[in-house]
């Protein structure tokens, strides 16, 4: 499962007391959400399992509404990468493309080969895709079209 990460302002109207914020943070932690508080205590970075940005955003809103009784302001949802095939395919899907991935060992180095349908060749610049995949996997990337 991919790890979705977002900054969330749990009290954009500035109506909660410090005690209510602390209680809400405890409720989120009890639900298993990984969180980090920012110096401004109303902003949290939350991490949860999520397959899509929209689904992760909705889960964050629901969790914060329940924990704090407010309507939170959720920032951009991103995904942490652990270098798995699932992470790499998530990067590909963010470009609106489907692909297959195969892992190889060549001269002691790991190589990830992505096979993308030929029809997608003009839709997404290969250099952008290549750079994003390298960052996600930290290994040699090859893209082929079939």
Residue 82, pLDDT above cutoff 90 = no
Numbered ranges of CATH 3.30.300.20 in the chain: 85-145
Specify the fold of 3-80.
Alpha-Beta Plaits (3.30.70)
CA-wise closest residue to 141 among 94, 98, 91: 91
pLDDT tens digits for range 59-81: 999 999 999 999 999 999 888 87
pLDDT tens digits for range 9-40: 999 999 999 899 999 999 999 988 889 887 66
Report pLDDT for 39. Answer: 64
Q: What is the pTM of this model?
A: 0.67
Contact yes or no for 67/24 (Cβ under 8 A):
yes
Numbered ranges of CATH 3.30.70.870 in the chain: 3-80
CA-wise closest residue to 8 among 40, 42, 33, 39: 42
CA-wise closest residue to 124 among 100, 94, 79, 83: 94
119: Cα within 13 Å, side-chain hemisphere: 3
CATH superfamily of this structure's domain 85-145: K homology (KH) domain (3.30.300.20)
| C-alpha distances in Å from residue 36, one per residue of 8, 45, 112, 143 | 10, 5, 33, 37
Segment 94-110 mean pLDDT: 90
DSSP string, 24-91: HHHHHHHTT-EEEE-SSTTEEEEEEE-SSHHHHHHHHHHHHHHHHSS--EE---EEE--S-HHHHHHH
Segment 108-125 mean pLDDT: 89
Contact yes or no for 34/47 (Cβ under 8 A):
yes
């Amino acid at each position: 499962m991919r790890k979705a990460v977002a900054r969330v302002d749990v009290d954009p109207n500035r109506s909660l007391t410090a005690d209510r914020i602390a209680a809400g943070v405890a409720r989120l932690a009890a639900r298993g959400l990984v969180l980090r508080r920012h110096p401004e205590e109303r902003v949290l970075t939350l991490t949860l399992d999520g397959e899509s940005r929209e689904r992760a955003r909705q889960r964050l809103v629901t969790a914060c509404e329940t924990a704090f009784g407010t309507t939170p302001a959720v920032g951009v949802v991103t995904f942490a990468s652990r270098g798995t095939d699932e992470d790499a395919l998530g990067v590909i899907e963010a470009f609106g493309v489907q692909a297959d991935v195969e892992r190889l060992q060549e001269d002691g180095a790991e190589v990830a080969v992505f096979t993308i349908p030929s029809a997608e060749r003009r839709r997404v610049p290969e250099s952008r895709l290549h750079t994003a995949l390298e960052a996600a996997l930290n290994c040699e990337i090859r893209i082929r079209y079939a």
